[in-house]
Amino acid sequence: MTLRHVVMWRMAADEAEERAEHAREGARLLTALDGVVPEIRALSVGPNSEYPDANWDLVLIVDVDDVDALERYQVHPEHEKVVAYMRSVVSTRAAVDIRI
């Protein structure tokens, strides 16, 4: 089984360009986890490219082996650094985990 972890964020900034900059930085930080966090089997991340006033600002799709691997990923020190940044710039987060 593979577990797919999908997360979307809305940035807190009022101005579209500032939200976009925060999303780009979040994407850069998340991308850097690939190859560092051993539980990651596949990772796709990117800022929204269209309809900034209607869509979420950033999305992450990460595949891990199972729930145990997801829990290890979530407490990995490098991931926790990204979480700290995201909490400083995000207003809303949504996530879903699906078995694929």
DSSP state, 37?
S
pLDDT of residue 53: 85
List, for residues 14-24, the tens digit of each pLDDT value. 998 999 999 99
Residues near 67 by Cβ (< 8 Å), separated by ≥ 6? 3, 97
SS3 34: coil
Does position 99 have pLDDT exceeding 90, yes or no?
Answer: yes
- Continuous H helices in 9-91: 16-31, 67-75, 77-89
pTM: 0.94
Task: Give the pairing of strands 90-99 and 42-47.
Answer: unpaired
List, for residues 51-83, the tens digit of each pLDDT value. 988 999 999 999 999 999 999 999 999 999 999
- The CATH code of domain 3-99 reads 3.30.70.100
Amino acid at 77: P
